[in-house]
Structures are given as C-alpha cells and as structure tokens.
Amino acid sequence: MTPNALNRRSMLTGGTLISLGTLLAACVPHDITTAGDGSTASGTPATNSSSSTGNSAGEYRKADAKGPAQNVPKPNAPENGYRAKTPDGIRKTMDAWNQWINYGIQTGDYSKAREFLSSTNDGELKIYREIEALYRRGGWVIDGIQYFKPVGEPWTEDDQTYRLKTRHEWDKETDVEPDGRQETWSSDKEEEIYTFALEHRDGRWQILYSQIDV
C-alpha cells in the first residue's frame, strides 16, 4: 500500500483492518513541500493574514497558500427531528455533524462538531485535536471539505447500536504550517465507503466510531 493510499481519517479513526507496519508507512503524507526560507513551493512566503483572492470584507473566502479561510459561515441549526430515535433522526444528525466538521477544518473550531460524538470516539477526537493544534500554532488547512452521503437505510442488530453506511466524497487536504511547510493528504481510491455506528443516548444520537470498508 502506497503512502497516499489512506487519508487522515482512514488512519486515525482506526477503522481499517491493516497491519501496524502498513499503518506506520501510510502515516507519511504523500506530498511535503517546503523551502529553506519558510516560503511555499511558489516562493511566496506563507502568512496567516489574508488569502490571495481579493474579495470584499465580510465575504467568505477559501483558504489558500497565503492564509486561512475568512468569514466562514456557521451552519444552520440541525433540522427538526434530528434527536428522534428514528432513521430520519440519524440522517439529520449525520448531516448536521458533517456541516460542523467542515466548519471546523476551515476555522480550527470543532466545539460544535464534538457535541455529536461519544466521548469514546477516540479516532475522530484525535483528528479534531490535531487540526485545532495546527491553527493554534498559526497554521491552517487548504481544502479538506468532506461529505458523507447515506447509502441505504440505517440498521441495527440489537436495537442499541445503529449503523449507517455512507459514501465519502472529498478531494484532498493540505495542512500549512506557520513556516510554510505543507503536507497534503489524499486517497488513490475513487470512492470510500464508511460505516458509522451510533447510539441514542440522553435524548440524542451520538456517533461512536466509523469504519472504512476495505
């Protein structure tokens, strides 16, 4: 398996059944770009100030090599019924969580995304901690937007743990360090299928873990 065969989520959620040696090899991002003077490959110094796109103040602006995303809009409140112990409640919960993880990767703020997780969801929480730490030290993320689209209906075998299969759609993620070093995470798969496990606790759905189908 080549280093770019697994993305960050595949590695950190612990969902893939691969050997430890393969996992350690895959942990090396497939593209690392840096320059001795702390600039990016294009020779432009990496800053945490403004993006190259000249949009007006207050307008949403995607992240690029010059700076993080600006004026990222917060997602709307979850749809009514997202707390219900129904298949529709699961889908609405997943949709709300998906919107908040995309907000988090653009801002470094995963506080709302955490509300949809079980405290035992170590893999997902580790992803959040890594991205939050990157932003705290002055870095940011380019791209990284993800969509988990349901495939079929949720199911359960014990009326306690429910599962939902999803199609994972994304492009790539580039982490930019304050010194200009960049690490790009991507996958060589055309499509990734994840199965999420959820439980209904304290009047709401909580995501226990995710597992990639291999």
pTM for this prediction: 0.79
Cβ atoms of 85 and 92 closer than 8 Å: no
Structure confidence by residue, pLDDT tens digits, 15-47: 433 222 222 233 344 444 443 333 333 333 334
Q: What's the pLDDT score for residue 9?
A: 72
Cβ atoms of 105 and 207 closer than 8 Å: no
What are the C-alpha distances in Å from 24 to residues 102, 164, 207?
27, 28, 26
Q: What's the pLDDT score for residue 49?
A: 40
Whether 6 has a pLDDT exceeding 60, the answer reads no
Whether 66 has a pLDDT exceeding 90, the answer reads yes
* Amino acid in the structure at residue 30: H
Average pLDDT on 92-108 reads 98
Collect all residues with Cβ–Cβ distance below 8 Å to 23 and sequence separation of at least 6: 6, 11, 16
Whether 190 has a pLDDT exceeding 80, the answer reads no
Whether 79 has a pLDDT exceeding 80, the answer reads yes
Q: What's the pLDDT score for residue 44?
A: 33
Cβ atoms of 204 and 115 closer than 8 Å: no
User: Could you give the CA distance from residue 48 to residue 84 in angstroms, rounded to a whole number?
Assistant: 42
Domain coordinates in residue numbering, the chain = 3-212
Q: Are strands 161-170 and 31-33 parallel, antiparallel or unpaired?
A: unpaired
Whether 171 has a pLDDT exceeding 90, the answer reads no
User: Could you give the CA distance from residue 94 to residue 87 in angstroms, rounded to a whole number?
Assistant: 11
Which residue, among 189, 188, 210, has the nearest Cα to 98 in the 3D structure?
210
User: Could you give the CA distance from residue 110 to residue 127 in angstroms, rounded to a whole number?
Assistant: 10
Structure confidence by residue, pLDDT tens digits, 115-138: 999 999 999 999 999 999 999 999
Whether 3 has a pLDDT exceeding 50, the answer reads no
**Per DSSP, what are the bridge partners of residue 155?**
163
